[in-house]
Structure 1
Amino acid sequence: MVPNLVLRLFLIGVLASEIWTQDRPGSLSSECLGSLLRVALNAEYFEDKYLIFAVVDQFGTAQEIDETLAAQCGYTIEYNYWGNIEFRASIISCYTHIESDVYTLTVQIQAANNPDMKNALTHLKIVSCPYSPWHPRELVCETNYMEVSVRRNVPQITADVLQDEPEDWALAFPEATAGAVSIWQVVFHLPTGRKALLASDAQNAGYGLNTTDTRILLRAPYNATEAQLVKVRGVTFSAVRASTFYKQRWMILMVDTAVACPIDGMEYTDDTIIWTIPKNLQTLSAGATSFNDLLVEIGVDLHKLSAREIASRKYVLSNNTDEITIQMPIGAEGGYYKTHVSEGQHGTKYYINLFLEHQWEDNRWGVTKHTIIKKIETPFKLVPPTITNNTNSSIRLVNVTVGTFLPDVELVNLTIDDTTVTVPEALQHGYKVYETRYPNGSKGYIIETPFDVPSIKKEYLTEDTRLYTLNVTLGFIVQPTHETFTVPVITISPVKDAVLPSARGFCDDDNLYLTVIHGNVDQNWLPFISNLSLSSDAAQKHNYGLDDNGTHLTIRVPLYAPHVLYEEIHPSGITASLHLTMKDNTHADMIDFSISCRFSPKELIDCLPNGTMVITALKLAGITDLDTSLFVLRDKQCRPVSVTEKSATFIFNMNTCGTSRKFEDTVMTYENEVSYFRPGSTTPIYQLKCACQYIINETIVVQYSSRNNPAPSVEPGFGSLALTLRLFKDQSYSDSYVEIEYPVVKYLKEALYFEVELLHSEDPQLELYLEDCWATTSQDRDSSPQWSIITDSCENAEDSHQTIFHKVDSDSRVKFPTHLKRFEVKMFTFMQDGNALLEQIYFHCSVVICDARRPASDLLCARRCIPRKQRLGRSVEAYHMHGHVSSGAVLMKSK
C-alpha cells in the first residue's frame, strides 16, 4: 500500500540540485517473484530519508507514483515499522517493456534528508524478470489493487473456408494476428443491470486497462465504484464482474475479466491466527460446471514455503471442497512484533505478510491461478512491563530493572518527586540509568540510586527496620510512531538499620517539657498533640513552644493549656500529663511519648477576702464522656458561671451553695466540693474537694444585712449572629465599597477606613469588641505572612502604620452604636527580600460579642485596651460569643 504522507515516504515535488543516476552499491536489491517483481531498499542507507518513487516510461520520462497511479498501474510501496521499505510491481504494469517473455521495468527513487527534497540523490534500478508460461487466467490480489489478466486468442479458421480462397486467407491471417490490438469498451455487470464504459472513461475512473501480444488485463482498486461486496461462507470479497471488448483491424472480441479478492476472513485467538479463503466463487466460476484443484501453496513475504518449512514453523494448511484454511501461531517465524500504546498502556501487535497461491482447472477457463497477498496485523495485546527489584542493602543501593521492551521503545524521562527530568539530567538527582540488551533482541532499563537521596522515602517499620521506598515514573516513547506511555516504578525494601527517636521530660512551676532526641527514621515526622500540629498557628496562639536544633526537638506546653490532660486532682497537687505523637507526612501515627508531673493546685482555688470562693474544676483524663457544664456544688442548684471543654468555673459566697465551716486552733476552714453525676445516678463519678482557710487572729469586718431574694432575670442565650467588615471611601463612613468594586486599589500610606458591625440584632444590651485584627496576602485568615493591626483590643502603635480608632455615634444609619467598631489604618504592602510584594491584601478581625451589663465580670469585654497577658484566666465566658470577619481584596497601586 502506498502511504499518504506517512513517516519517511513523502510523495511531493522534486527540487534536486544534485542528481546521481546510478545505483549506489548495496542500497537497492531486486528479485522476481512469479508475476511480480520487487525492489528492496537498504534500511540502513535510507533510514530517516524522505523518498519519492517513480517509474520511467519508454520515452525516458519519470512518472511519479501517487496512490491513484499505484492502484491503476499495478504498483505497491510498503514499509514496516523497523524501517524496511520495498517497491513491488506487476510485471505487466503500465510502463513495463515486454520482449520475448522478459518484462523490464525501470524504477527511480529520489532520497533527501529534508522534506523540500533539496540536494536529493536519484537512484535508478532496472529490473528484468522472465515469466513463462502464462496460465489462461491469472488473478492477483495485492494489498492496494485487484488484477486479472486473460489470454486472448485469434479464432481458428476452419478448413472449408481455407479451401475457397486459400490465398486470401493466407494473406489476411498474418495481418490479423499481427494487427494492433486496442481495448474498446468495458461492460460492468451490476445487480441493477449492465454499465458500459469506453476504455478512456474506465481509465479516468481509476481502472487499469492493458494489452500485450497475448493477454488482456483489467486492474481495479478495492474501492472502485463498480466493485461489489460479496459475502461467501462468512468472508467478504470485493468483486468486479466485467466483460472487456477489444478490437483488431477487422474484428471485435469479448473476454470475461471478472476479479474477486477477500478483504477479511481473519480470526484471532490468544495465540493463533486463522485465515479462511472460500473456493468456487460464483463471480469467478460463472459458466463452469466442473472444478479440479491443481495446487495450493502458501508463503511469507512472497517466498513460498516447502512442506518441511510449514511444519517447522507450526503452520497448518487445510484444503477441503469448500475452503482453504491457514492456521499459524502468533509470533511464528516470518513475522515480527511491534510496540503500540492503547489508553496509555504498553502492548504489542504481531505482523506478518502471508500469501496464498491457488490453481484450479474448470471446463470454461482451463487453468486459473489466483494469488492473494495478505498483510496481517493482530489485535493489540496488553503487555505490562515487568519490574524486578535487585536492591542491595549491604551497599545501600536501590537497583531496579524495568522491561522487557522491544528495540523500538526508548526511555526518555523520569518523574522524581513531581519533577520530570531527562535521562541525562537524572544523574544530577542521584539516579543512574543503564540500558541492557538481551540475546533475543529485546531490552530493559536498570535504575540505580543510593538509599540516602532525598527522593527515597524512608519509613519506620519495626524496632530495627526501615522501609526504603523508590517511587519514580518512567516516561517512554515508541519509534517511529512517537506513541508515549509511562511506567510507575514503586519498590519497597526493608532494611534493618532503624534508630528510633527517644525522649525525656521535665516540668517547672508552669509548664511541661518533652525533649525528643532524633533517630534516623524521623526526618520527615511531625509533632502533634492530639490532632494539633505543633507547627501550626493554633499552637502558637496557645503559647506552645517548639524548638528543633536538628538533633533534639524540645516542646513546651503550659500547665493549663487545652491539650494537657489532668489525671488526678488532690489538695496536695494536680497530676497533669502531656502526650506527644510523632506522625509521618501522611499523618499516620508513628510513635508516642508522654510526661506526667504533679503541680500545686493553688491556681484552681482562689479565696477572696470578702468571703468569695472561685473554683476551677478540671476534667480528668479517665472520664471521656464527662460534660463540664453539668458540674455542681453540694447545693446542686449552684452551677458553673464559665464552662469550657475541659473546665468549669464556680464563683460563690462561702455562706452559700452548701459550703461548710469548721474551726481548728487559729484557722477557720470553709469547704465545698464539685461533683459530677451521670444522668439518672445518685452516686457521683467525679468529686473535687475545695477548701479556703483563714487565720482567725486576723481582723476581718463583715457586715450582715437582710434583703429580699432578687427577681429572676433572663441572660443572653446562645445563637448565630451575623458580622460584616466594610471598607469606606472616606472618614465620614457614609459610602462603602460594594462587592463589584473589589479589589479596591489604593496608594501606599493612603488611609483605609474600616467598620465592623453586628447585623440583624435589636438587642441594646449586646456590645461588639475587636479582639484582634490583621492583614494577609490570601483570603485564608490563617495564612502567612500576617501583619497585626489590632492586638488584644489595642491598636498597632508602630509610627508608620499606627491604627486609629474612631468613635461611633447614633445617626440615621446607626441605631445601636455599641454594635459597631470603626478604625483607620494606612495602606501598606508586604516585603520580601527588600522588595514590595504588589499582591492583593485581605483584612480580618476576630470579634467578641459581650453582655454590656456585665463588663466587670470579664476583662475580655472591658471597655479599654488590656493586653491579653494581663487578663485573668477565669473570665466569665458565658456572657460573650466569638466570631471572625474578613474583607475583600485591597490592591496597592504604585504611583
Structure 2
Amino acid sequence: MSVTLCVGFCLLWLKADATPAGFSEAVIQSECRDRYLWLHVASTGPPPQFEAVDGGGIHSLSEPLASRCGYTISTLRMGGYTTVRASYYSCYTQNQNDKVFTFSINVLLSDATGHWSSRHVSTSCSPAEPWSPRELVCEEDYMEVSVSRDVSCDAQQGGGGGGQAWNVAASLAQQAATSTWQLMFLQDGGQAVAMSVTEAQSLGYSVMVTSRRVVLRSPYRQPHSQELTVHGVPVEVVQASLFLRQKLAVVMIDVSLACTLNSGSFDGARLLWDVPRVMTPLVGGEGRFESRSLGLGVEGRLLDRPTAAARGFSLDLHGDLVQITVPFGAEGGYRRSLVVDNVYSEMYVISLLYEHVFSLLHDDGSGVETRHRLFRVLDTPLRCQRPITIDQTVSDDHQFSVYLGNIPADVALEEVKVNGKQLWTAEAAEERSHSVGHVVHTNGSHAYTLRVPFEDAVVHRMNLGEGVLQFSLDINFTLTIVPHGDSYHHHTFITARLHDAFPPELQAECTEGGVTFSVEKTPRLGSLWEVGVGQEPLTAELAAQRGYRLRNESQSITLEVPVSSVGYTYEDIDLLHFYGTFKLLLRDSQTLEVQVSTSKRCLFKTKEMIVCSADGFMTVVTTPTATWPTVHPDKTSLLDRSCGPKQTDGSSVLFEFSLDSCGTRAMVGESYVVYENEIVQDRHLIADGPAFISRDSQFRLTVRCFYPLNAVSRLFVDRIFRSETPGCSN
C-alpha cells in the first residue's frame, strides 16, 4: 500500500541588520532581510559586477546563471545605484539546518579609468520569522518555491490544480518513484513528464533538498511553463511536484509555481497594478480558501498601513482582483526628468512588493498556510509637462506682468531673453531681482513672474497714431533641470497698448537775447520721448558744450538758447536786424522718429557777427571804424578786390559771399575744413618826391568758417559746396 504526501507554499518577511564593518555606506551596504540578503551599491561608472564564492571557487553572477541560482540584480539605476537580492536558498550559499545562511560575495567596481577592483562581502543571516509551510516568491527574473518536508496531506486534497491531472501525476509517481528525488511536470491535457533532478537542472531549473525543506527555482518562460489568464490577468504557471519512494510510501510534494506577468498601467496620475486575489493554479482541488493578510511594500520592505496611506498607496479589493494604486511621484519611487524635443518629460519608477498570506482549509480541519510574495518594478511612460504663460499686464500700470507656471520642482529658470536681448540670468539675479519673482506652490511645483516696465530699453514700441502706442515683448525663457543641467526653452509673445499717449507740447517765445523753449513732462510717459536739437539728443552735456541754459525740473524742461549759439538758422541779415530761427524736436526715444517739431523765428538787432551757412555762404558784419585811425567801410573789400561790401553805413560793413569765391582759401585738417578770407582796406598813397604820403589806415581782418569734415559732402570737385550742418566762425 502506497501513501502519497503533499504540502503547500510561501511568502517573505523583512529584517534589517547592521552594515558589516569595513565597508563604506556611501559605496556598498549589505543587510540581512527576511528570506534574502540585500546588497546596495552606489556607483557612477559602469554597473558593478558580482561574484559568488564557495568551496568550489568563484562564480560570476551574470545571466542566465543569476536568475537560475536565485540572484536578482536590479536594473533600476535611476537613483545611481544597483541592488542585489540573494535568496537564502541561492546557489553557493552555505545553509546550516535552514536557520543560518552564510553569503560570500565579491563586488567588482570600475573607476573612471576603467580599472576594476574587488570588494568582498561576507554575511550570515537568519530568518526573522519562522518558515511557513509553503513560501512562494515571484522575483523580477525568476520564480522560487520552498516547501516544508514535514507537512503532508492526502493526494486527493492537494493543490496544484487537483482533478484528473493530479491523479495522473500521483499514479505516475507511484510507478516511477525511486529512492532518489525526481521532478514531475504536469502539462496541458493531463500529460505528466517525470525526470531526474540532474535532468531538470540541465534544463535551467534549480532543485534543492535540505534537511527541512525542498526548493524549486525556475527562470521565467521555461519549456514546461504555461501562460494562463486568471481573472483577466496573465499568469505564468509551472505545475510540478517532487517525489521519491520511502519504503512502502511515495512522498509527493507539490512545488507548483504561479506568478503574474502584468507590469501595471498608468492613468495619467496613478500607477495601477492588478493581482488576482485567488491564484487558481495554486489553490485548486477541494478545500475552503481563507485570506489571512494583504501587504504592500517598497524596495523589498513591507510598509505598515499608516505609512502606506500617508504615501498615497492603496490596496483595494475589486471582485476577484486586488488593485494596487501608487500616485505619480510617491515617496519610495524615483522620478527621472529629461528633455525630449525641447519638452520637459518625466517618468516615475517604483519597485513594489506585494504579499498575500492565505490558507486552504479542508473538512478535517487541516490546512496549509501559503505566503505568496511578488516583486515588481512599475514605471510610467514619459509624461510631458509644458510651461504655461499668463499675461497679467494692466496697461495703466505701465509695465508688463507675465506669469510663467507649471514648472516642475526640479527645474529652475536660467535665463530670460526679451526681443533678442538678455534681460535676466540666474547668476545675476541679485542685480536685477526686481524683474523676476519666484512663486512656490503647495503641490511642489513652482512659477515665476516677470515684470518689465514699458519704458525699458528692451521693449519694442510702435506708434499706431491717434495717441495709441503698442508695446511688445518677444520672450524666450530658458529652463534647466537641476542638477544634471538639461535645458529647454519656452517662447511667448505679448503686446500691450496705451491710449491717449500723445507727446507733450513744445512752447517757445522770443527773448531779447535768444529763444526760450518749455516742454511739459507727461507723468510716467516722460521716458517715451526724447528732446533733440538736430540729430543730437538734448542732454546736460550738449547744453554746456553749446552754451545753452537747461533747467530740468520735476514738471517741465526749460531751454534758453542764446542767439549766438550753435543750431540757429540766420536769414535776412542787414546792418540793423536779422532773423534767427531755432528748431526743437520731440522724437520717439526708441525709434527716433520725429513726433513733434517746433521752430521759433525771432527778429534780433544786428551786432558784429560771422554766419557760416550750410549752403556754403559766409556772412560777416563788422565795424571797421573802431580802429584808429578810422577805416572807411565803403573802401573795404575781400582778398579779391572786386568783392566789395554788400551793405555799408557810416560805421559798419556787411559782406556776403560764397565759399568758393572772392579769393577764399580752403584748408583741410584732421577733422575740419577751414575756409578763410580777409576784409582789407589798402591805403591811398600820394607821391611826395621820393616818398609816399597816406592819410588812410592799413586794415586787415581775417574771417574763418569751420565745417566738420564728415559733414561736407563735396569738396574741390565741382566747386559746389554742401554741408549737413552750418559751420562755426572764427
TM-score between the two structures when normalised by the length of structure 2: 0.52
Alignment match, 1:33: 33
1:218 aligns with 2:216: yes
In the alignment, which of 446, 454, 469 is matched to residue 473 of structure 2? Answer: 469
Sort the Cα spacing of 1:500 and 1:97 in 2 relative to 1 into closer, same or farther, 3 A.
farther
The alignment covers a number of residue pairs equal to 478
Q: Is the 8 A contact 1:279 1:323 kept in 2?
A: yes
Which residue identity is paired with 1:297? G
Sort the Cα spacing of 1:196 and 1:422 in 2 relative to 1 into closer, same or farther, 3 A.
farther
Sort the Cα spacing of 1:221 and 1:403 in 2 relative to 1 into closer, same or farther, 3 A.
farther
1:324 aligns with 2:322: yes
Alignment match, 1:68: 64
Sort the Cα spacing of 1:259 and 1:453 in 2 relative to 1 into closer, same or farther, 3 A.
farther
Alignment match, 1:148: 145
In the alignment, which of 286, 299, 304 is matched to residue 301 of structure 1? Answer: 299
Sort the Cα spacing of 1:492 and 1:274 in 2 relative to 1 into closer, same or farther, 3 A.
same
Matches of 1:324 and 1:128, distance apart in 2: 32
Alignment match, 1:292: 290
Shift of 1:331: 4.8
Matches of 2:25 and 2:131, distance apart in 1: 33
Give the match's secondary structure for 2:54. Answer: coil
Alignment match, 2:233: 235
Shift of 1:450: 8.8
Which residue identity is paired with 1:322? D
Matches of 1:127 and 1:401, distance apart in 2: 59
Alignment match, 1:377: 379
Matches of 1:483 and 1:263, distance apart in 2: 35
Sort the Cα spacing of 1:94 and 1:473 in 2 relative to 1 into closer, same or farther, 3 A.
same
Sort the Cα spacing of 1:96 and 1:419 in 2 relative to 1 into closer, same or farther, 3 A.
farther
Matches of 1:492 and 1:296, distance apart in 2: 59
In the alignment, which of 52, 58, 61 is matched to residue 56 of structure 1? Answer: 52
Alignment match, 1:610: none
Alignment match, 1:209: 207
Matches of 2:59 and 2:476, distance apart in 1: 54
Give the match's secondary structure for 2:126. Answer: strand
Which residue identity is paired with 1:92? Y
Matches of 1:410 and 1:226, distance apart in 2: 54
Give the match's secondary structure for 1:50. Answer: coil
Which residue identity is paired with 2:91? C
Which residue identity is paired with 1:474? T
Map 1:572-611 onto structure 2 (within 5 A): none
Alignment match, 2:88: 91
Sort the Cα spacing of 1:592 and 1:375 in 2 relative to 1 into closer, same or farther, 3 A.
same
Which residue identity is paired with 2:34? G
Matches of 2:127 and 2:273, distance apart in 1: 31
Which residue identity is paired with 1:135? S
Matches of 2:423 and 2:83, distance apart in 1: 39
1:122 aligns with 2:130: no
Q: Is the 8 A contact 1:459 1:521 kept in 2?
A: no
Matches of 2:79 and 2:452, distance apart in 1: 33
Alignment match, 1:844: none
Q: Is the 8 A contact 2:414 2:426 kept in 1?
A: no
Sort the Cα spacing of 1:40 and 1:282 in 2 relative to 1 into closer, same or farther, 3 A.
same
Q: Is the 8 A contact 1:411 1:475 kept in 2?
A: yes
Q: Is the 8 A contact 2:455 2:527 kept in 1?
A: no
Alignment match, 1:755: none
Q: Is the 8 A contact 1:50 1:117 kept in 2?
A: no
Map 1:51-450 onto structure 2 (within 5 A): 51-59=47-55, 61-78=57-74, 79-100=76-97, 101-114=99-112, 116-118=114-116, 120=117, 122=119, 124=121, 126=123, 128-153=125-150, 184-185=182-183, 187=185, 189-190=187-188, 193-195=191-193, 198-245=196-243, 254-264=252-262, 266=264, 268-313=266-311, 315-319=313-317, 322-327=320-325, 329-339=327-337, 345-362=343-360, 363=362, 366-387=368-389, 402=404, 405-406=407-408, 408-409=410-411
Which residue identity is paired with 2:276? P
Shift of 1:280: 3.2
Sort the Cα spacing of 1:472 and 1:454 in 2 relative to 1 into closer, same or farther, 3 A.
farther
Give the match's secondary structure for 2:282. Answer: helix
Shift of 1:469: 0.2
Sort the Cα spacing of 1:444 and 1:592 in 2 relative to 1 into closer, same or farther, 3 A.
closer
Q: Is the 8 A contact 1:190 1:226 kept in 2?
A: no
Shift of 1:312: 4.3
Shift of 1:201: 4.9
Matches of 1:265 and 1:240, distance apart in 2: 20
1:108-152 superposed Cα distances (whole Å, 9 cap, x missing partner): 32333327235x463536352334421221111122222112223
Matches of 2:256 and 2:469, distance apart in 1: 80
Q: Is the 8 A contact 1:399 1:447 kept in 2?
A: yes
Sort the Cα spacing of 1:263 and 1:25 in 2 relative to 1 into closer, same or farther, 3 A.
closer
Q: Is the 8 A contact 2:413 2:426 kept in 1?
A: no
1:53-73 superposed Cα distances (whole Å, 9 cap, x missing partner): 314322384433324233222
Matches of 1:231 and 1:422, distance apart in 2: 59
Matches of 1:415 and 1:203, distance apart in 2: 67
Sort the Cα spacing of 1:126 and 1:418 in 2 relative to 1 into closer, same or farther, 3 A.
farther
Shift of 1:29: 3.3
Q: Is the 8 A contact 1:50 1:115 kept in 2?
A: no
Q: Which has the bigger relative contact order, CA under 8 A and spacing at least 6?
A: 2
Which residue identity is paired with 2:230? V
Q: Is the 8 A contact 1:234 1:265 kept in 2?
A: no
Matches of 1:550 and 1:195, distance apart in 2: 103
Which residue identity is paired with 1:94? C
Which residue identity is paired with 2:232? G
Alignment match, 2:461: 458
Which residue identity is paired with 1:300? V
TM-score between the two structures when normalised by the length of structure 1: 0.43
Shift of 1:466: 4.0
Q: Is the 8 A contact 2:472 2:493 kept in 1?
A: no
In the alignment, which of 488, 491, 499 is matched to residue 488 of structure 1? Answer: 491
Which residue identity is paired with 2:143? M
Matches of 2:529 and 2:246, distance apart in 1: 99
Sort the Cα spacing of 1:479 and 1:183 in 2 relative to 1 into closer, same or farther, 3 A.
farther
Sort the Cα spacing of 1:38 and 1:468 in 2 relative to 1 into closer, same or farther, 3 A.
same
Give the match's secondary structure for 2:220. Answer: coil
Shift of 1:230: 1.0
305-314 vs 275-284, which deviates more? 305-314
Which residue identity is paired with 2:475? N
Give the match's secondary structure for 2:48. Answer: strand
Which residue identity is paired with 2:258? A
Shift of 1:259: 0.9
1:664-723 superposed Cα distances (whole Å, 9 cap, x missing partner): xxxxxxxxxxxxxxxxxxxxxxxxxxxxxxxxxxxxxxxxxxxxxxxxxxxxxxxxxxxx
Matches of 1:367 and 1:249, distance apart in 2: 28
Matches of 1:310 and 1:470, distance apart in 2: 47
Q: Is the 8 A contact 1:74 1:93 kept in 2?
A: yes
Matches of 2:308 and 2:447, distance apart in 1: 33
Matches of 2:291 and 2:312, distance apart in 1: 24
Alignment match, 1:878: none
Sort the Cα spacing of 1:550 and 1:66 in 2 relative to 1 into closer, same or farther, 3 A.
farther
Alignment match, 2:589: none
Matches of 1:126 and 1:353, distance apart in 2: 24
Alignment match, 2:569: none
Please list every run of 5 or more consecutive structure 1 residues that lacks an aligned counterpart in the other structure: 1-19, 157-180, 503-518, 524-547, 552-589, 594-895
